[in-house]
Amino acid sequence: MSIAAELRAKLRIPVMAGPMFIASTADLVIAQCRAGIIGSMPALNPRTTADLDADITRIAASVGDAPYAINLVAHASNSRLGADLDVVLKHKVPIVVLALAANAGLVRQLQDNGSLVFQDVIKQRHAHKCAELGVDGIIAVGAGAGGHTGDLSPFALMAEIREWWEGLLILSGCIATGRAVQAAEVLGADLAYIGSPFLASTEANTQPGFRQMIVEGAAADIVTTNCFTGVDANFLRPSLIEHGLDPANLKRVKAGGINIDGGGDNAKAWKEIWSAGQGIGAVKRSEPAADYIDRLVEEYAAARAAVGSAH
């Protein structure tokens, strides 16, 4: 059986949650897995490596053989990488999502230990690099995604990658409804990757004001800028304004390298200046993740039935 078919057999709907810095908690991962999707969180969200160890222990004990994912930032600026990696290896985490500067040795080490390794990409060149690294799954991040975003239309990105990549392919960016999950499949994705809608989940570590912006906001409220990290990311316009920034005049940082740990405005980004993707127009309420996923499942079934009856 292919990896895609094996994973799909364990899910209620072909959806994986995107890990979100600060926002994804162990409780959110557990709720996502129990509701029938792949739950995920960044390794850096628990305050320390010991906390990460405790969180993964709790997740593993709560979700049985449901697949969950931990996101590791494989970048020199991540001082916890070595210690966090040891924890991930110890628990044989089912899926590891690597971000930034992964190398073939790390991919191999994780796979030999029993993990599937996924990596996200925003362009064709990165997808080829991932294939060379030997990853099990490629996450194609299209325009409008929450967090660090791509700038290509998902139609173009998926078509170009699917031309040569037969492995597991996941589409990320603005997917928020069951209909959009089906659309991702139609474009050639095995799984849809959903981030921003879970910012409104009651299990997420998001402040009330952040949740409110997600519930009230829409695509027009999202601003793309590289001014915080040197790499394009999407932020909520009202949050930029609240911090005295003019969304129309954000300084464009010269390309060349990502700065994750920097200070100043960069430190405020994510924690105080809130990120989200263009798909938030579909998010109408803050609710437990399971309620949102139940609705996704219903919408997905309705969308499939509608397409079936149109033929």
Applying CB under 6 A, the residues found at the interface with ligand FMN are 18-21, 23, 42, 71, 97, 99, 120, 141, 145-147, 172-175, 193-196, 275-277, 279
Residue written as tokens 């990290």? 229
Closer residue to ligand FMN in complex, CB, 21/292: 21
Closer residue to ligand FMN in complex, CB, 277/297: 277
Closer residue to ligand FMN in complex, CB, 285/305: 285
CA 60 to CA 69: how far, in whole Å?
11
Helix boundaries (H) for the chain: 3-9, 26-34, 49-63, 81-90, 104-112, 124-133, 154-162, 178-186, 208-216, 237-242, 265-268, 289-309
Closer residue to ligand FMN in complex, CB, 65/178: 178
Closest distance of CB 234 from ligand FMN, Å:
7
Closest distance of CB 194 from ligand FMN, Å:
5
CA 235 to CA 270: how far, in whole Å?
9
CA 227 to CA 59: how far, in whole Å?
35
Closest distance of CB 139 from ligand FMN, Å:
7
Closest distance of CB 140 from ligand FMN, Å:
10
Closest distance of CB 311 from ligand FMN, Å:
29
Q: What does the angle CA 44 – CA 226 – CA 150 come to, to the nearest 5 degrees? A: 80
Q: What residue is closest to ligand FMN based on CB?
A: 195
Closer residue to ligand FMN in complex, CB, 66/139: 139
Per-residue DSSP letter, 215: H
Q: Are 119 and 97 in contact (CB under 8 A)?
A: yes
